[in-house]
Structure formats: C-alpha cells, structure tokens
Amino acid sequence: MIREHKIGNEFEFLELYRYVSLDQQNFLDALSGVDRIFPYRGPILDFWCECGESPVAIIQNIPLHEIGHYLELSDVDIRAIEFSAEVEAHIP
C-alpha cells in the first residue's frame, strides 16, 4: 500500500478506503461488499500519542473522513464538519 500510494512515511496512513465507484459496480459487487475501510493500528496509536485525542474518537472519525473524500471534500472541509459536530455535541 505504501508504494502503491507513494506514501513517504508509513505512519501517515491511518486508514485505507477501498471501493468500486458506483458507475463501475455491477450486481455482484454490491452483494460482495466492495466498500471497505481498513484502519491501521500502528499509525492510529502513533497519532493518539501525538494529539492526545482518545483512540475511540480517532477511530470514530475514520468513516467520516473517508466518506468525505469519497464525496470529494477536502481535508479542510472535513475538519470543519468535524469541528461543527463537536461544537453541537457540547451545547447543553
């Protein structure tokens, strides 16, 4: 994966989202569950140590992050959505 995606540091790769775009899927693809997210434990634990955010919160954000990219949102857009959700969650 590191070579395929030209990743310089293996710890930059928290997760991988593998999918077949809807226009390329056939009936059998839909049945086989081609859309999958693969989290990588080492990078997630390393990120946890660096940022101090709970591992649960990091893992909960992975699907949001990958779905955001699937919808062609930038990292900045995705972070804004995450921040907005955090702010709303803390309103009494």
What's the CA gap between 7 and 2, in Å, rounded?
Answer: 5
Please tell me the predicted confidence (pLDDT) of residue 65.
83
* CA proximity to 79, closest of 35, 12, 87: 87
Q: What is the pTM of this model?
A: 0.60
**CA 59: distance to chain centroid?**
8
**Is residue 4 within 8 Å of 26, Cβ to Cβ?**
no
3-state secondary structure of 87: helix
- pLDDT tens for residues 35-51? 778 888 888 888 888 88
pLDDT per residue as tens, the chain (92 positions): 667 767 676 667 777 777 766 677 776 665 566 677 888 888 888 888 888 888 888 888 888 888 888 788 888 998 888 778 765 665 55
